[in-house]
Amino acid sequence: MIKAIGFDADDTLWHNESIFDRAQQRYRALLAKYHPAAEVDRALFATEMRNLPLYGYGVRSFTLSAVETAIDLTKGAISAQEIQEIMHVCREMLAHPVELLPGVVAAVTQLAADYRLIVITKGDLHHQERKVAESGLAAQFHAVEIVSEKDDATYVRVLRRHGVAPAEFAMVGNSVKSDILPVLRLGGAGVQIPYHLTWAHEHTDESPAAHPRFRQLESIDGLAAVVAAL
């Protein structure tokens, strides 16, 4: 029987990748006079992956990688004004209001009456804490875990800290790679609710479709019934 439910935050509870997507469109436009969009995307992603062990996830990491990539792609020719424009785009991302996904308030409120709910999310500590606070959902969660990575070892630590056995745990999220596969490997359950955009780093060829404790939903509306059945 499921006793605790973990929720991914970005693109599960509220919009996130769409904000990054719009920022990246503006970034491409800014660098269009130097390189075509595909080259800008390729270089930025390569820089993000190289910097990930140092900067982690989130807007601040994206900002540092975006500035570094702009300098590299322009061989140092980018102007201070253009750098300032990049910084402005990134500040807007940090200040963007929290936009909850449809059905989230009702689903989380319903589940909080019967289960211990835990937010488990990657990203910048300050930014993620602010988004949780602004979401209006904080009172429904037993705990908020902002982690540097979402892998098997991280989930083991989180579950031990909260005294939850893997078999009694279900993780809900949009990413198969980060939210579903690690929990299934530990013996827990995973419910994927796909978002219409997925960051390239979250892509995986491994599919959990045949796993008996995996479910996929089109929206969060049916989550309570799925968890009860698990």
pLDDT score of 19: 97
* Domain containing residue 77: CATH number: 1.10.150.240
Place of tokens 């599960």: 12
The mean pLDDT value for 134-149 works out to 97
Tokens of 116: 């211990």
Q: Give the Cα separation of 66 and 99 in Å (integer).
A: 24
Task: Give the burial string for 177-188 (b: 16+ CB within 10 Å, else e).
Answer: bbbbbbbbebeb
Kindly report, residue by residue over 28-86, the tens digit of the pLDDT: 999 999 999 999 999 999 999 999 999 999 999 999 999 999 999 999 999 999 999 99
- Under the banding of pLDDT at 50, 70 and 90, the label for residue 130 is very high
User: pTM here?
Assistant: 0.94
pLDDT score of 213: 97
Instruction: Say yes or no: 109 and 174 in one domain.
Output: yes
Kindly report, residue by residue over 171-181, the tens digit of the pLDDT: 999 999 999 99
Instruction: Say yes or no: 200 and 165 in one domain.
Output: yes
Determine what percent of the chain is predicted with pLDDT higher than 90. 99
Instruction: Say yes or no: 132 and 64 in one domain.
Output: no
- Under the banding of pLDDT at 50, 70 and 90, the label for residue 113 is very high
Instruction: Say yes or no: 115 and 127 in one domain.
Output: yes
The mean pLDDT value for 133-151 works out to 97
The mean pLDDT value for 155-162 works out to 97
pLDDT score of 48: 98
* Domain containing residue 178: CATH number: 3.40.50.1000
Tokens of 170: 């279900």
Instruction: Say yes or no: 107 and 188 in one domain.
Output: yes
Residue 50: CA count within 13 A, CB half-sphere: 11
pLDDT score of 158: 98
Instruction: Say yes or no: 112 and 195 in one domain.
Output: yes
Domain final residue, candidates 68, 95, 122:
95
Instruction: Say yes or no: 33 and 111 in one domain.
Output: no
**Where in the sequence is the domain holding 91, given as residue range(s)?**
17-95
Instruction: Say yes or no: 114 and 220 in one domain.
Output: yes
Q: Give the Cα separation of 150 and 154 in Å (integer).
A: 6
Q: Total structural domains in the chain?
A: 2
Kindly report, residue by residue over 183-197, the tens digit of the pLDDT: 999 999 999 999 999
Instruction: Say yes or no: 74 and 104 in one domain.
Output: no
Task: Give the burial string for 58-71 (b: 16+ CB within 10 Å, else e).
Answer: bbbbbbbbbbbbbe
pLDDT score of 34: 95
Instruction: Say yes or no: 122 and 189 in one domain.
Output: yes
Instruction: Say yes or no: 121 and 134 in one domain.
Output: yes
The mean pLDDT value for 129-144 works out to 97
pLDDT score of 53: 95
What average pLDDT is seen over the chain? 97
Which amino acid appears at position 160 of this protein?
A: R
End-to-end CA distance of the chain: 7
Domain final residue, candidates 70, 95, 120:
95
**Which of these, 198, 204, 182, 201, lies nearest to 213 by C-alpha position?**
182
Instruction: Say yes or no: 137 and 90 in one domain.
Output: no
- Under the banding of pLDDT at 50, 70 and 90, the label for residue 143 is very high
Domain final residue, candidates 66, 95, 124:
95
pLDDT score of 107: 97
Determine what percent of the chain is predicted with pLDDT higher than 70. 100
